[in-house]
Structure 1
């Protein structure tokens, strides 16, 4: 890494290359941190977590007990050993608490003064963080599996909602009303997610084995229905035409640049799709154990080269190389099945929640071998200093000083 620093100081390397290299090194060094605890608030399993994108400091969690908690991830103690405290909770004693299992929580993308939760009590609530009271409550006729707000939208304030009803609901945050439905699925919609690249593009995953991509400005139907066989009818049975998986599709995630969609199904497969064409890229991730009947929350790294996928796999978290499908690591620490994980792009950390009621923090660890490698890189950089363009020699020396 010191070699990268020296090359950057000399102007020989792009600063982004250094950043990607360090981010990648940190992700590959993730380990369960014995010095960092997260307050245990939930009495039952944890279904969903979300880290705010503005400060990267506050984390939401929602549990099967209906409880919502907000944690402060910042360490102000100055000591390596600390606990991420729950700064506030919507507990069972609150009159506003969800009556049944909370399935999705999400911060408002533009500030931490508001967040949204949805649950099996057939409601989605928009919360004021200051008062911990709902500013708006959307009532549905069926259990809510998933909702999502766009992180880039400027021309709309829509929340996409997936319920037991096959129709996707679009709720307007400004007017407080349901304004539109998207029809096309034939079973419950388990996961929805807006594209991080185009504000009107939405993807949905359903128990009907299908994944659809929508442009919400169009009323005529979906843009794409993802087909695992890429249109080759000789490989598809009559029942499996235009299906993304051979089972319920309960996991859905865009990559950070919005160019690809990742899906996971109860057929124990994960697939990578071109989000523009809908083509199955045929990356083979092998068997990805998926026993969940509800939404499975997995996540993709950002700023690495290559990028990595973190997906719950039983009581472990499997880490795959995004574009090759190579299994890079298996993180073990939970005592029961993992239901959700969230990547922190500012620090390349990972947080996971499971049916054991615990939230675990996975942080980069620098091993002795890494230190030795960095030392060797530094020596090589010093040896190569004489080959640097003389115009950079003075700048190099002054920077080293």
Structure 2
């Protein structure tokens, strides 16, 4: 059964200032701050309780497509159309290092839970893994199993999930050096681990989210109603795990009961594509960004 209050419905704050589409919005690990990145090549840090802009980070030469905060909150990584991976120090607001090597735009970036590693996935069909503790600008590992653009990646304690436009979801066991692959049938655009790491939520360009059992690849449920046929959009779990959430190309945010997939709720959030949704780590609050240039915190 759905838990009361697990679906944020009230617009609490609208964060404005980006010029052009906002491609990504992320909470930090304690939810006190959020970061946004967009078409204007800027990354902005905001206070979540007040909506105040704290600082702007500038360094990208083209659109910022994704960013991720390290679990210890000391650093964040950002990627984009300029084919570079930037590692930033939050306290000094400076670039620690710029990692080059990808041949095309970089779609996705993520940190391992212990903050030791971060990884990037690109249109060049590769995933590159970088050492957060080293000054080296060269990857420690390069994964080349994808046959099309790598669009999403996410770590859990021991594994890394990747999704590709080739329709495959690949999970790499970082300790054993093994990989498993499952074919979804449609280009994959987003992926997320459940809190217990037993399930994987996948978004694809066929207007469908799919929930898979991690242990055997069984399709547990699927969720429909939103529009997703052309653009990369994020999906996520609610903090309670009772709902799955996705943006939509018509500007709406969709919430489905994780067990009863037909029980969906739709909130018209933005005037254009909802590019990213992220659930607050400790509260019933949701962050959404859009190609209309706005970012909203919902409670």
TM-score (norm 2): 0.92
Q: Which residue of 2 aligns with 1:149?
A: 111
The residue number in structure 2 matching 1:169 is 128
Aligned-residue CA RMSD in angstroms? 1.9
Residue in 1 that maps onto 2:292: 356
Give deviations 1:308-345, integer Å, cap 9, x for gaps.
01100121000011132133310113111110011113
Normalising by structure 1, what TM-score?
A: 0.70
| Alignment partner, residue 254 of structure 1 | 193
Alignment equivalent of 1:188, drawn from 132, 149, 153? 149
Aligned position for 1:32: 10
Deviations 1:196-240 (A, max 9, x none): xxx231111001111111112345x52x211xxxxxxxxxxxxxx
Task: Give the 3 Å change call, closer, same or farther, for CA 101–291 of structure 1 in structure 2.
Answer: farther
Match of 2:117 in 1: 158
Q: Which residue of 2 aligns with 1:64?
A: 39
The residue aligned with 1:6 is: none
User: Is the counterpart of residue 41 in structure 1 residue 2 in structure 2?
Assistant: no
Moved over 6 A (4+): none
Alpha-carbon distance in structure 1 between the residues aligned to 2:92 and 2:281? 29
Residue aligning to 2:165: 207
Q: Paired residue for 2:222?
A: 284
Query: Which residue of the partner structure matches residue 385 of structure 1?
Result: none
Aligned: 1:87 with 2:27: no
Unaligned runs of 5+ in 1: 1-19, 76-83, 91-95, 227-242, 364-401
Which deviations, in whole Å up to 9, do the C-alpha atoms of 1:226-274 show, x marking residues without a partner? 1xxxxxxxxxxxxxxxx213x2111111112111001111122211101
Q: Provide, for residues 91-124 of structure 1, a one-character-per-residue CA deviation record: whole Å limited to 9, x for no partner.
A: xxxxx4211111111111113x321111110011
Residue equivalent to 2:91: 130
Whole-Å separation in 2 of the counterparts to 1:218 and 1:259: 18
1:345 aligns with 2:281: yes
Instruction: Name the counterpart of 2:184.
Output: 244
Which secondary structure does the structure 1 equivalent of 2:219 belong to? Answer: coil
What CA distance in whole angstroms lies between the structure 2 residues aligned with 1:292 and 1:65?
21
- Offset of 1:287 from its aligned partner? 4.1
User: Is the CA contact 1:59–1:70 (under 8 Å) kept in the aligned structure 2?
Assistant: yes
Work out whether residues 32 and 333 of structure 1, in 8 Å CA contact, stay in contact via their aligned partners in 2: no
Residue 316 of structure 1: which of 228, 242, 252 is its match?
Answer: 252
What SS is found at the alignment partner of 1:285? strand
Residue deviations 1:344-380 (CA, integer Å, cap 9, x gap):
13220111110111111221xxxxxxxxxxxxxxxxx
Q: Which has the higher helix share?
A: 1
Kindly tell me: are residues 326 and 150 of structure 1, through their superposed partners in 2, closer, same or farther at Cα, counting changes over 3 Å?
farther
Could you tell me how far apart the structure 1 residues matched to 2:5 and 2:225 are?
Answer: 26
Q: CA deviation at 1:166?
A: 1.7
Unpaired segments ≥5 residues, structure 2: none
Q: Distance in 2 between the 1:328 and 1:286 partners? A: 9
SS of residue matched to 1:49: strand
Check 1:288–1:332 CA distance in 2 against 1; reply closer, same or farther (3 A cut): closer
Q: Whose strand fraction is larger, Structure 1's or Structure 2's?
A: 2
Q: Distance in 1 between matches of 2:222 and 2:161?
A: 22
Residue of structure 2 equivalent to 1:389 = none
Between the aligned partners of 1:142 and 1:362, the Cα distance in structure 2 is 35
The alignment status of 1:104 with 2:66, answered yes or no, reads: yes
Is the 8 Å Cα contact of residues 301 and 345 (structure 1) preserved in structure 2?
no
For the residues of structure 1 that align with 2:139 and 2:222, how far apart are their CA atoms?
Answer: 40
1:317–1:338: 8 Å Cα contact kept in structure 2?
yes
Q: Give the number of aligned pairs.
A: 295
The counterpart of 1:114, out of the listed 72, 75, 86, is 75
Deviation at 1:297, TM superposition (A): 1.6
**Structure showing greater Rg:** 1
